[in-house]
Amino acid sequence: MNTGLQPTVPPEPPAPEWRHSRGPDWVLVGDQGLRAGWAVLLAYGFYYFFRMVIGTVFFSANLISDGNEYSPGWMLTVELVPFMAMVAAGALMAVIEQRRILDYNLTGTRRGMHFAAGAGAGFVIFSTLIAGLRLGGWLQFGPRGLAGAEIVRMGALWGCAFLVVACVEEGLFRCYLQFTLTRGLNFWWALAAQAAICGYMLERARNDGALGVYLAAAAGLFPCLVLHQRSAPRNGFWQAAWVGSTWFGMIHTFNSGENWRGIFAAACIGFVFCVSVRVTGSAWWAIGCHAAWDWAETYVYGTADSGLPARGHLLTSAPAGNSLWSGGSDGPEGSVLALAAIALLLALLLAVYARDKNSVKDAAEA
């Protein structure tokens, strides 16, 4: 689709000067420093190590428990563990790679405006999805779940919780992973990564969302192959988006209540967030959109979020009718209408930033 948009990409800081011989170290180190594959493995190794350590501390201090209340206070506390682990791992990788932690797709101008625009888009598009489900008879509303001061208190708590969730998921996928794979991924390595992801899904005994993962992998195969054959500029960015989005869909298969449509929708919205990084120059639009989408889904409308029902929401609702349209236990993201909503979100993103020449210029020059 020709939007008239001149492609822009997240600004890349000058690569550190790495001096290495053409000896055995070339396997680990390239012209831009530690090779992308090793960097990703090291970064996620650090992340899981810090997550284990911090989680153990939180658990020993009785700050978290084995239960799954899915209330805002519980979720905020639980999500602080991966958030702190992510920041620690990112800071350590920044030292190793001689960069700043903000260099991982968090620089650029007008970050506050991009965050606010993403939040507005996320809330409006998800509300449009809810309206479609309600008009079709696939979502029923019950009595209001909160009253008085609880509306404000719970809304604020859920807002903080989902802001942390958005920071963690966007930080792991659209910040470090997208930035690092962009500088070192070609089609054949991307294809190998997709094969590994699909192979893992085949090996798992419980494959409730596997079809969604396979569809996400298949959807990007032909476009990425064409880009590779044409040696398109910034080819690595789209190969990275393909891998990262499929991986993003795959991690949602660990949620109970997910169906293949919800998994595919998660991968698709992950791709939209990658596009937002390209056209705005940073991940701030994606963070705002992610947080507002989840906040509207869980707190405002009281629906299941990726198969997880919550406590303490403003409205109460329940799916009705065929799960193909209602989403069933997955929630609205498991409805085929969610794919239309995500397509609308992508169209809105491109339309806004195609017209916003100043934003495009800022992203290119920052």
Residue 124 structure tokens: 């409006």
> Which residue, among 90, 248, 91, has the nearest Cα to 173 in the 3D structure?
248
Residue 221 lies in a domain: yes
* Exposed/middle/buried for residue 251 (C-beta within 10 Å: 0-12, 13-18, 19+): middle
Q: Are 240 and 177 in contact (CB under 8 A)?
A: yes
Confidence (pTM): 0.89
Residue in the block written with tokens 């989005």: 245
* b/e per residue 1-28 (b: at least 16 CB within 10 A): eeeebeebbbbeeeeeeeeeeeeeeeee
Residue 3 lies in a domain: no
Residue 33 phi, psi (nearest 5): 100, -150
pLDDT computed for residue 359 by the predictor:
47
pLDDT computed for residue 184 by the predictor:
87
Q: What is the mean pLDDT of residues 150-173?
A: 96
What mean pLDDT value characterizes the chain? 87
Amino acid sitting at position 92: L
pLDDT confidence bin for 27, thresholds 50/70/90: low
> Which residue, among 83, 96, 115, 6, has the nearest Cα to 42 in the 3D structure?
96
Residue 140 lies in a domain: yes
What's the domain count of the chain? 1
pLDDT computed for residue 22 by the predictor:
54
> Which residue, among 302, 305, 303, 322, has the nearest Cα to 269 in the 3D structure?
305
For residue 119, the enclosing domain spans 24-365
pLDDT confidence bin for 161, thresholds 50/70/90: very high
Residue 13 lies in a domain: no
Q: Are 327 and 335 in contact (CB under 8 A)?
A: yes
Residue 212 structure tokens: 């969604």
In angstroms, the CA 83 to CA 87 distance is 6
**Does the pLDDT at position 4 exceed 50?**
no
Please say whether the dihedral angle defined by the alpha carbons of residues 80, 81, 83 and 84, taken in this order, is positive or negative: positive
Residue 215 lies in a domain: yes
% of the chain exceeding 90 in pLDDT: 68
**Does the pLDDT at position 101 exceed 60?**
yes
**Does the pLDDT at position 251 exceed 60?**
yes
* b/e per residue 348-357 (b: at least 16 CB within 10 A): bbbeebbebe
Residue 15 lies in a domain: no
pLDDT computed for residue 16 by the predictor:
54
pLDDT computed for residue 205 by the predictor:
58
pLDDT computed for residue 2 by the predictor:
41
Residue 14 lies in a domain: no
> Which residue, among 314, 300, 258, has the nearest Cα to 131 in the 3D structure?
300
Residue 269 lies in a domain: yes
pLDDT confidence bin for 258, thresholds 50/70/90: confident
Q: Are 276 and 118 in contact (CB under 8 A)?
A: yes
% of the chain exceeding 70 in pLDDT: 86
